[in-house]
Amino acid sequence: MTERGGRIQTRQRSAVWAALEAAGEFQSAQQLHARLRADGDGVGLATVYRTLQQLADDGDVDVLRTADGEAVYRRCSTGRHHHHLVCRSCGRTVELDAAAVEQWARRIGEEQGFSDVDHVVELFGTCRECKETDRHI
């Protein structure tokens, strides 16, 4: 467990932290809130936002913005990460081995004189099933 300042330990924070761990990948506050509610761990949306904000301030999570402006959070990973291909419609997720991209990112960063280069790569599309049924969310 990481040291997280003088913060109080509450059921809600543990739940958010656990949900982030369970997800493993970038999740929006809304997604986490829904996930928690589905699991029976009721946590207010505002509390989810506040908790994520603190975690981000403390550097315990990565924060990103999706193309449509939603903030997504991920527990900082110690080891190497992988990427995902996510269906816009049903949320189905495929894990990707992206060795080629890892190499590309590192090389580009070095070429530009940047250090501690991290990268974010996410693919979004419509999976075959959703395309056929023309389903929308």
Partner DNA sequence: GTTTGTGCAAATATTTTGCACTTGA
Partner DNA sequence: TCAAGTGCAAAATATTTGCACAAAC
Per-residue exposure over 57-74, b if at least 16 CB sit within 10 Å of its own CB, e if not: eeebbbeeeeeeeebbbb
Q: Least distance in Å: CB of 89 to DNA? A: 14
Angstrom CA distances, 125 to 31, 73, 90, 95, 122, stand at: 18, 20, 10, 14, 10
Q: Least distance in Å: CB of 39 to a copy of itself? A: 27
18, 46, 94, 117: residue in contact with DNA (rule CB under 7 A): 46
Q: Least distance in Å: CB of 51 to DNA? A: 6
By CB under 8 A, tell whether 94 contacts a copy of itself: yes
46, 76, 114, 135: residue in contact with a copy of itself (rule CB under 8 A): 114
